[in-house]
Amino acid sequence: LRNIRTTEEVDPGVVEGTDLRVLKYPHPALRVPNEEIPMEELTGPGSEISKIAKEMFLVMYATQGVGLAAPQVGINKRLMVYNESGDPKKWMSETVMINPKIVEFSEAKDVEQEGCLSFPDMGGDVERSKWIKVEAQNLKGKKMKKKFKGWEARIFQHEYDHLDGTVYIDRLTEEGKDKVQPRLDELVSDFGEGGVL
């Protein structure tokens, strides 16, 4: 997720310290099911998952993002990272969530404009729950429960959608979708064969 109001869009190309890249729509990895991460893959620092999470933060910051889901970098696992500030200096706000689940959400909704790192040069209004309750695991496999509200709830819901193969354009109104359709057509054309809408 990108904060459309406060950040310029950046396509960093090669990101120092990682081979991961943000995949652009309609890359098939954005639509396939994502596997739960088994406990044995979460052996703390030095594990493959903690290395992936660390590199995902590098990519997220390089693209001026506030959240990134593993399928966006071609890893079809239920893993997301975010930092609501989007500021690498505020690393204490970095959150890694493994196998997250939404266990409760508010009936009350709000609508805000969202942008997505996998959909460059576009955005749209998306309705989301105002608050959610979440269960997940951290990098050591420890279970956590959290309640998110406002901006943080929106970041989580956007990234969580990616883990279910849902992208934010799926949540746009007909009018919103019509507005971005020319840009979507460009992305599909740029991608070439093998894209999954």
**Active-site residue set:** 159
What backbone phi and psi angles, to 5 degrees, belong to 18?
Answer: -160, 155
Burial class (CB in 10 A: 0-12, 13-18, 19+), 167: buried
Which 8-state DSSP code applies to residue 166?
-
Measure CA of the first residue to CA of the last residue in the chain; give whole Å. 19
Handedness of CA 173, 175, 177, 180 (dihedral sign): negative
Instruction: For residues 114 and 154, give the distance between their C-alpha atoms in angstroms, rounded to a whole number.
Output: 9
Burial 84-100 (b: 16+ CB within 10 A, else e): bebeeeeeeebbbbbbb
CB-CB neighbours of 40 under 10 Å: 8
